């Protein structure tokens, strides 16, 4: 059925589930960072959206990805996806991930994610006039989902305004911060000295059906760069990314581009390092750089046994470093606004025909 023929789509009909092992078999039993999961989520999110409206889409943003319980290399991961809102040309979807515990033979809630896709026409431009999301048996549920989507969009716009206002401040002072830097840090580092950059180009095997580099590849590289930045800052190789937020896809990446992932620390909490990652692309033979992606990752600091470990290194906050203070102030606002978000209930497990999982 074509999208034009669809006036409505039932939320239950948008449900899709994938199940597969994840990570590397030779690393079985070791903690999995977010990279492989982000790679799979980008593909799965697109499938959920396309399945719902019978039309090609492009992933536009990963609003949030949070781990609830750790996933190990070699685990079977079930992804359950469903639309929560349909706009003029955009689709917002919720994904709940479960890992299968072999010992108990049960699925354990592991991750929650919210993503946005954009429907495309034949010229890869946003397609308008999408079907309306309905639930004939429970219209109040649609109202609740719509309110959550509306509130999340409102908070996103608020944050954009706040970040812009921070940039426009004539001067940022230490009094603007809620948390005073800890005195017990063994060392304090200027934010500009935490920068880590990785670069790569991509092959035709990395392309999606739209002829651009698969978003999951970019997300994996962003995760890799964030994780390495966190390890260098903390001086610890036992670290893992545990959340990703506000990852936006601004420009497509092609096989003619060199992509550079730049990561820097933008916050330090007891056991966590917050990392900002920006992706810049430039075509072969050109010196013009354009920002294609940006986002924020949280990296957990662990000891050799995998337990949370206190970070002893901190960021130097000085009013002489105005750029660094602006970055830290924006990070503070992001953390505060995340606490206001209305939370979605995890999607329940659906049945996969013929499966004993």
> Residue 223's domain is classified under what CATH number?
3.10.129.10
Task: Say yes or no: 126 and 11 in one domain.
Answer: yes
Is residue 28 one of the residues assigned to a domain? yes
Task: Say yes or no: 145 and 128 in one domain.
Answer: no
Task: Say yes or no: 113 and 204 in one domain.
Answer: no
Is residue 50 one of the residues assigned to a domain? yes
The token pair that represents 104 in the structure block: 């108990």
Rounded CA separation 264/238 (Å): 18
CB 256 within 8 A of CB 283: yes
| pLDDT computed for residue 2 by the predictor | 46
Q: Of 79, 112, 137, which residue sits at a domain end?
A: 137
| pLDDT computed for residue 137 by the predictor | 85
Task: Say yes or no: 335 and 259 in one domain.
Answer: no
Is residue 356 one of the residues assigned to a domain? no
Q: What is the pLDDT of residues 76-92, one digit of tens each?
A: 999 999 999 999 999 99
- Per-residue pLDDT 10s for the chain (357 aa) are 444 457 899 999 999 999 999 999 999 999 999 999 999 999 999 999 999 999 999 999 999 999 999 999 999 999 999 999 999 999 999 999 999 999 999 999 999 999 999 999 989 899 999 999 999 888 888 989 888 888 888 888 899 999 999 999 999 988 888 765 555 677 889 999 999 999 999 999 999 888 899 999 999 999 999 999 999 999 999 999 999 999 999 999 999 999 999 999 999 989 999 999 999 999 999 999 999 999 999 999 999 998 999 999 999 888 888 888 999 899 888 888 887 777 889 999 987 655 556
Task: Say yes or no: 247 and 337 in one domain.
Answer: no
Task: Say yes or no: 188 and 311 in one domain.
Answer: yes
| pLDDT computed for residue 186 by the predictor | 79
Is residue 351 one of the residues assigned to a domain? no
Count the domains in the chain. 3
Task: Say yes or no: 14 and 125 in one domain.
Answer: yes
Task: Say yes or no: 10 and 108 in one domain.
Answer: yes
What 8-state DSSP symbol labels residue 72?
A: B
Task: Say yes or no: 190 and 309 in one domain.
Answer: yes
- DSSP one-letter string for 43-65: HHHHHHHHHHHTS-EEEEEEEEE
Longest dimension (CA), the chain: 64
Task: Say yes or no: 17 and 109 in one domain.
Answer: yes
| pLDDT computed for residue 321 by the predictor | 87
Task: Say yes or no: 236 and 257 in one domain.
Answer: yes
Task: Say yes or no: 118 and 15 in one domain.
Answer: yes
| pLDDT computed for residue 4 by the predictor | 47
Is residue 296 one of the residues assigned to a domain? yes
Is residue 352 one of the residues assigned to a domain? no
- Sorted by sequence, the CB contacts under 8 Å of residue 257 that are 6+ apart come out as 201, 202, 213, 281, 282, 283, 284
Is residue 357 one of the residues assigned to a domain? no
Q: Of 110, 137, 164, which residue sits at a domain end?
A: 137
| pLDDT computed for residue 357 by the predictor | 62
- What's the domain range around 92? 3-137
Rounded CA separation 90/150 (Å): 13
Q: What is the pLDDT of residues 243-256, one digit of tens each?
A: 999 999 999 999 99
| pLDDT computed for residue 5 by the predictor | 56
Instruction: Report the number of secondary-structure helices (H) and strands (E) in the chain.
Output: 4, 14
| pLDDT computed for residue 182 by the predictor | 53
Is residue 355 one of the residues assigned to a domain? no
Which CB contacts under 8 angstroms, 24+ apart, belong to 198-205? 198/224, 198/225, 198/228, 198/260, 198/261, 199/258, 199/259, 199/260, 199/261, 200/258, 200/259, 201/255, 201/257, 201/258, 201/259, 201/284, 202/253, 202/254, 202/255, 202/257, 202/259, 203/255, 204/255
Q: Of 78, 113, 137, which residue sits at a domain end?
A: 137
Rounded CA separation 136/156 (Å): 30
């Amino acid at each position: 059925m074509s999208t034009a023929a669809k006036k409505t789509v039932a939320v239950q009909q948008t449900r899709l589930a994938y199940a597969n092992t994840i990570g590397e078999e030779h690393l079985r039993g070791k903690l999995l960072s977010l990279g492989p999961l982000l790679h799979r989520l980008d593909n799965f999110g697109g499938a959920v959206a396309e399945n719902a409206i019978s039309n090609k889409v492009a992933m536009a943003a990963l609003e949030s990805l949070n781990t609830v319980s750790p996933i190990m290399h070699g685990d079977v991961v079930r992804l359950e996806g469903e639309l929560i809102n349909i706009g003029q040309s955009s689709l917002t979807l919720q994904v709940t991930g479960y890992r299968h515990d072999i010992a108990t033979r049960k699925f354990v809630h592991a991750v929650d994610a919210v993503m946005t896709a954009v429907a495309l026409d034949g010229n890869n431009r946003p397609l308008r006039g999408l079907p309306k999301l309905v639930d004939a048996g429970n219209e109040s549920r649609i109202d609740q989902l719509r309110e959550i989507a509306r509130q999340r969009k409102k908070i996103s716009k608020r944050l954009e305004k706040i970040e812009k206002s921070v940039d426009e401040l004539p001067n940022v002072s230490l009094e603007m911060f809620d948390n005073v830097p800890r005195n017990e840090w063994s060392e304090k580092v200027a934010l500009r000295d935490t920068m880590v950059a990785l670069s790569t180009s991509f092959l035709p095997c990395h392309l999606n059906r739209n002829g651009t580099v698969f978003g999951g590849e970019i997300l994996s590289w962003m995760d890799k760069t964030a994780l390495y930045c966190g390890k260098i800052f903390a001086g610890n190789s036992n670290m893992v990314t545990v959340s990703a937020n506000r990852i936006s896809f601004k420009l497509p990446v092609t096989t003619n581009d060199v992509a550079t992932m730049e990561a820097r620390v933008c916050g330090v909490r007891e056991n966590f390092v917050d990392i900002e990652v920006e992706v810049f692309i430039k075509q072969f033979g050109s010196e013009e750089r354009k920002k294609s992606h940006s986002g924020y990752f949280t990296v957990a600091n662990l000891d050799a046994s995998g337990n949370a470990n206190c970070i002893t290194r901190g960021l130097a906050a000085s009013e002489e470093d105005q750029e660094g203070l602006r970055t830290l102030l924006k990070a503070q606002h992001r953390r505060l606004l995340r606490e206001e978000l209305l939370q979605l209930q995890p999607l329940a497990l659906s049945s996969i025909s013929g499966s004993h999982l």
